[in-house]
Chain A
Amino acid sequence: MATATLTGRQRAGWTTANLVVIVLALIPVAWLLSLSFKAPSAVTDPSFWPAQWTGGNYSGILTSAQFLRPLVNSIGIGLISTFVSVVLASMAAYAVARLSFPGKSVLIGLALLIAMFPLIALVTPMFTIERALGLFNTWFGLIIPYVAFGLPLGIYTLSAFFREIPWELEKAAKMDGATPFQAFTLVIAPLAAPGMVTTAILVFLACWNDFLLAISFTSTISSRTAPAAMEYFSGGSVFTTPTGPIAAAAVVITIPIIIFVLFFQRRIVAGLTSGAVKG
């Protein structure tokens, strides 16, 4: 891939291809935005620009406990799951990347297995388990499976980051009198911070976007997350579909993701390890 030596024709070709992909990806988003500003009666209006702009959909959902409470649930469950996943995954990944211990390959294999298992096959048994344990319709009922599915992802991404960190840094920390835990928290973890942020974003996105588990393991707005709550929106009357409020809610739950990614983008890109060894 010698991008520096593209000919004019190649450049034009790539530009076209990129534009097509971007447009295809953004049209549904634009359509969603447009829908969210249309009045309920104008939802079927085929024109892209709303004939009459209205903020009614937004004010409707943002004053309704049916959306606000699930939004709080989503944020809370997402942050807790992400935090627990990243902390556990970074310790596990450190062990996987640095130590040789019995059962290491089994652990890696299990993690991969969990990540590959089709979620839909697990919903029913997990539902039964959660009912039996009293976790059904609680925050923990969602946090536990989210952590379980976030861990494999975290272990894989983070162990790749840990492998990049020169081992001599740990030896140096050891010689400087650090315990293994101090070496990890004071030397290795700060250097793996970009990896941890990347992992956190990936895990948070997975939790934030989950619909299947959220709709299966919750029954009231006390623990229902925003994507699941949208399913229960009702229209103005029995005969109107709640398309407008759903569109507005979709826009609202997209905003934190955009902020999240924009905020951490620089950290993800920044390589911190330069200067550790001669290079």
Chain B
Amino acid sequence: MAPITLDHITKRYPDGSLAVNDFNLQIQDGEFVILVGPSGCGKSTTLNMIAGLEDITSGELLIGGAIVNNKTPKDRDIAMVFQSYALYPHMSVRENMGFALKLAKVPKDVINQKVEEAARILDLTQHLDRKPANLSGGQRQRVAMGRAIVRDPAAFLMDEPLSNLDAKLRVQMRTQVSRIQRRLGTTTVYVTHDQVEALTLGDRVAVMRSGLLQQVGTPGELYHKPYNLFVAGFIGSPAMNFLPGSLEGGALRTSLGDFPLTDEVRREVEGANAGRDVIVGIRPEDFEDAALVPAENRARGITFKTAIDVLESIGSDVFVYFSRGRDTGVSSAELDELAADSGSTDTGADAETVTARLDAATKVREGADVELWADGAAIHVFDPNTGRNLSLAAKAGGPVPPVPQQEGPIT
């Protein structure tokens, strides 16, 4: 059990491409930190550098207070769970889990005792003498976890450990991973591309994009106070809606209507020298059926009429989709990347479609013209050029860190 410090960690491949750029992160002892981002953002490279499977180009990596840059994986006292589990097919579950201890020349009876204890935690006791080939996906995943647990290492590293499981098992294992981590209290770094996994598991979440750390924070901070357009769009499901807006007098004009602006937001927006055009972000749950909004809240936002294209009811909530016209598109490299990552460019999903989550009590019908309400206090205003969240300073009561910009070619 140990804290991990990544101090200005950079990874540059021999061909000059920059995979991880000046990564700084302090992981506390016993903390569960998630690295999340779209594929190719450098999160796995970062994990491999912590593991010692890849060299660090520059910067310092400390585990338990000691610099380990040049130590081999075996001297770093860390265990790793791989996406493919990487179980040794010619060994039984027991041998798989005890392999590291056997290499460390731990006495046989101690190995047995530790393996059996781990098997009990993971509910694998009756499978100990089977080979990995005869196990189900979920059982193999647990063996991979068990292999890490028996070593009682300073830290666990997990590289998308759940992404090979089917959806239902993934949710079950998610809770189990969380429970085991709490029980053992071992520092854990977990890589995933699934933002739901990131938000549900992590004490803190680090969002990466193109080798740059975008924001680190608790799930709540990332969700409510995204530093920039990328984090705002990446975190949350369904994703935040983005609309073009412009500052007209004291108000923010969008295709939904004019939002009133607080003085702080206006000052920040004007101070940012971003021009009059901005990108407005509204989360689906910040919409509501106007009929269900209490009168005292109405003034906080705006109401508008729209036709509902599609309505999906999942019982607890109702999702409605409506369109705001063609000429209103926002364009930004970050949004393009998000769209590519979520696959919406492949499915032909229309970026102009707005998603709203309404209370299940709503009487809204598909195809009908309805009046919706959008919460003006919950909107985010982004600089279209830098992606910076201009409304955050007003909410956070402090300056917003600048958006990290990539400097070299990144692949």
A interface vs B, CB < 8 Å?
A: 166, 168-169, 171-179, 182, 186-187, 190-191, 272-278
The answer on a CB contact under 8 Å between B90 and A190 is yes
Residues of A within 8 A of B133 (CB): 274-275
The answer on a CB contact under 8 Å between A176 and B89 is no
A-B contact count (CB 8 A): 80
**Contact residue among A166, A176, A187, A278 (Cβ-Cβ distance under 8 Å from B140):** A278
Complex: chain B residue closest to A180, CB-CB: B72
Complex: chain B residue closest to A278, CB-CB: B164
User: What is the CB-to-nearest-CB distance from B14 to chain A, in angstroms, rounded to a whole number?
Assistant: 10
Residues of B within 8 A of A169 (CB): 86, 88
Contact with A along B68-84 (1 / 0, CB 8 A): 00001110001110111
User: Taking the complex as formed, is B378 at the interface, i.e. its CB lies under 8 A from any CB of chain A?
Assistant: no
Residues of B within 8 A of A272 (CB): 89-90
Residues of A within 8 A of B301 (CB): none
User: What is the CB-to-nearest-CB distance from A189 to chain B, in angstroms, rounded to a whole number?
Assistant: 10
Complex: chain A residue closest to B48, CB-CB: A171
Docked complex Cα distance between A168 and B161 (Å): 13
* Chain B, 162-189, CB within 8 A of any chain A CB: 164
User: What is the CB-to-nearest-CB distance from B83 to chain A, in angstroms, rounded to a whole number?
Assistant: 8
Given contacts A174-B74, A175-B79, 19 further A-B contacts (CB under 8 A): A166-B84, A166-B86, A172-B147, A175-B74, A176-B74, A176-B99, A177-B104, A179-B74, A186-B99, A191-B89, A274-B133, A275-B87, A275-B89, A275-B132, A275-B140, A276-B88, A276-B89, A277-B84, A278-B164
User: Taking the complex as formed, is B134 at the interface, i.e. its CB lies under 8 A from any CB of chain A?
Assistant: yes
User: What is the CB-to-nearest-CB distance from B90 to chain A, in angstroms, rounded to a whole number?
Assistant: 5
Docked complex Cα distance between A176 and B77 (Å): 9
30 A–B contacts from the bound complex (CB under 8 Å): A166-B84, A166-B86, A168-B82, A168-B83, A169-B88, A171-B86, A172-B82, A172-B147, A173-B88, A174-B52, A175-B51, A175-B79, A176-B74, A176-B99, A177-B100, A177-B104, A186-B99, A191-B89, A274-B133, A275-B89, A275-B132, A275-B135, A275-B140, A276-B84, A276-B86, A276-B132, A277-B84, A277-B86, A278-B140, A278-B164
Docked complex Cα distance between A162 and B131 (Å): 21
User: Taking the complex as formed, is B314 at the interface, i.e. its CB lies under 8 A from any CB of chain A?
Assistant: no
**Contact residue among B52, B72, B80, B87 (Cβ-Cβ distance under 8 Å from A276):** B87
Docked complex Cα distance between A191 and B147 (Å): 19
Q: Contact residue range for chain B?
A: 20 to 34
User: Taking the complex as formed, is B53 at the interface, i.e. its CB lies under 8 A from any CB of chain A?
Assistant: yes
Residues of A within 8 A of B79 (CB): 175
User: Taking the complex as formed, is B368 at the interface, i.e. its CB lies under 8 A from any CB of chain A?
Assistant: no
The answer on a CB contact under 8 Å between B164 and A174 is no
8 shortest interchain CB distances as A-B pairs: A275-B133, A176-B100, A177-B74, A172-B86, A277-B84, A168-B86, A275-B132, A276-B89
User: What is the CB-to-nearest-CB distance from B153 to chain A, in angstroms, rounded to a whole number?
Assistant: 9
Docked complex Cα distance between A274 and B135 (Å): 11
User: Taking the complex as formed, is B236 at the interface, i.e. its CB lies under 8 A from any CB of chain A?
Assistant: no
The answer on a CB contact under 8 Å between A278 and B84 is yes
User: Taking the complex as formed, is B287 at the interface, i.e. its CB lies under 8 A from any CB of chain A?
Assistant: no
Residues of B within 8 A of A172 (CB): 80, 82, 86-88, 147
Docked complex Cα distance between A168 and B99 (Å): 15
User: Taking the complex as formed, is B329 at the interface, i.e. its CB lies under 8 A from any CB of chain A?
Assistant: no
Contact with A along B130-146 (1 / 0, CB 8 A): 01111101001000000
Docked complex Cα distance between A273 and B91 (Å): 11
The answer on a CB contact under 8 Å between B134 and A275 is yes
Residues of B within 8 A of A190 (CB): 90
Residues of B within 8 A of A171 (CB): 53, 80, 82, 86
Docked complex Cα distance between A191 and B91 (Å): 10
Docked complex Cα distance between A190 and B89 (Å): 10
Most buried by A among B52, B53, B88, B135: B88
User: Taking the complex as formed, is B190 at the interface, i.e. its CB lies under 8 A from any CB of chain A?
Assistant: no
Residues of A within 8 A of B100 (CB): 175-177
* Chain B, 78-122, CB within 8 A of any chain A CB: 78-80, 82-90, 99-100, 103-104
User: What is the CB-to-nearest-CB distance from A166 to chain B, in angstroms, rounded to a whole number?
Assistant: 6
Residues of B within 8 A of A182 (CB): 103
User: What is the CB-to-nearest-CB distance from B148 to chain A, in angstroms, rounded to a whole number?
Assistant: 9
Residues of A within 8 A of B53 (CB): 171, 174-175
Docked complex Cα distance between A175 and B81 (Å): 9
- A178-B74 contact, Cβ under 8 Å, with A168-B86, A191-B89, A278-B164: yes
User: What is the CB-to-nearest-CB distance from B82 to chain A, in angstroms, rounded to a whole number?
Assistant: 5
Docked complex Cα distance between A277 and B141 (Å): 10
Complex: chain B residue closest to A171, CB-CB: B53
User: What is the CB-to-nearest-CB distance from A192 to chain B, in angstroms, rounded to a whole number?
Assistant: 10
Docked complex Cα distance between A278 and B73 (Å): 24
The answer on a CB contact under 8 Å between B131 and A275 is yes
Residues of B within 8 A of A277 (CB): 84-86
Residues of A within 8 A of B140 (CB): 275, 278
User: What is the CB-to-nearest-CB distance from B44 to chain A, in angstroms, rounded to a whole number?
Assistant: 12
Complex: chain A residue closest to B141, CB-CB: A278
Residues of A within 8 A of B82 (CB): 168, 171-172
* Chain B, 36-56, CB within 8 A of any chain A CB: 51-53
* Chain B, 290-310, CB within 8 A of any chain A CB: none
Docked complex Cα distance between A182 and B88 (Å): 13
Residues of A within 8 A of B135 (CB): 275
Docked complex Cα distance between A272 and B132 (Å): 11
Residues of B within 8 A of A166 (CB): 84, 86
